[in-house]
Amino acid sequence: MRDTYRETALDNTASIPRILFSVLSLLAAIGVTAALTLQISDQWVYEEFVAHDFFAYFSFQQGFGLVIVLVASGIYGLQSARDTLALSAARAAFVMYSIVVGSTYFVLTEMGIADPRPVGPMLWPMIVMNFVIPVYLGLEWLLNSQRAALPWWTFFTSLSYPAVWFVVTLIRGDLTGWYPFELLNPSSEEASSNSFLYMGATAALFFLVSLSVMVVNRIHVVLRRSSKAS
């Protein structure tokens, strides 16, 4: 049986650019952790924190997962010349998640569905999570070519988590009556043909961003092989 994420022999010498990318990953992890912590503390202070609802949001789930991936990327990047398949695949998935979350948050605020204001007085956690981090992750993925070649089925595995989240959210909402967004509630006044349009657009965005991430990885691999051959 093929080893899904088979490790490859890597040169353990990290280059200067790779060290820089690794340090940026660790700094980004600190920024995301600070933003998430402040959002929780603000909701706690204003007595609006409900743990099972807070952690039901896809944006917060991917935020906590992103911290783990960023820390792993930073630590491993300081010790090796190239990311492994497993780490590259995880990074690819969370690049996609973060970009989609930031994009959909902007759309939801423009539609008046999501409140662009934080619970507390500080706005910077929203800016960090929905603008700074997605832009950083996208640029870093474009510029950092030192990653393993991802098999094309990684494209589908990266989409499995948001698909599972969506199904679980609908089941949970049907059982409890609570949905992260009223657009997902079939019995709400906001549920209409626009809801299906939004969900379809979000699914298409997940698909396109994931495909773009894979294409960039393939371009990096081709360029790397060409440079070695020349």
Residue 193 reports pLDDT greater than 80: no
Distance CA 3, CA 19 (A): 29
Residue 27, pLDDT score: 98
Distance CA 163, CA 195 (A): 17
pLDDT digits (tens, 9 = 90+) for 71-96: 999 999 999 988 999 999 999 999 99
Per the prediction, the chain carries an average pLDDT of 86
Distance CA 113, CA 224 (A): 44
pLDDT digits (tens, 9 = 90+) for 133-186: 999 999 999 999 989 999 989 989 999 999 999 999 999 998 998 888 777 877
Distance CA 180, CA 101 (A): 13
pTM check: above 0.85: yes
Residue 116 reports pLDDT greater than 60: no
Distance CA 228, CA 230 (A): 6
Q: Could you tell me the residue ranges of all domains in the chain?
A: 16-229
Residue 121, pLDDT score: 59
Is 197 or 202 the better-scoring residue by pLDDT? Answer: 202
Distance CA 42, CA 119 (A): 6
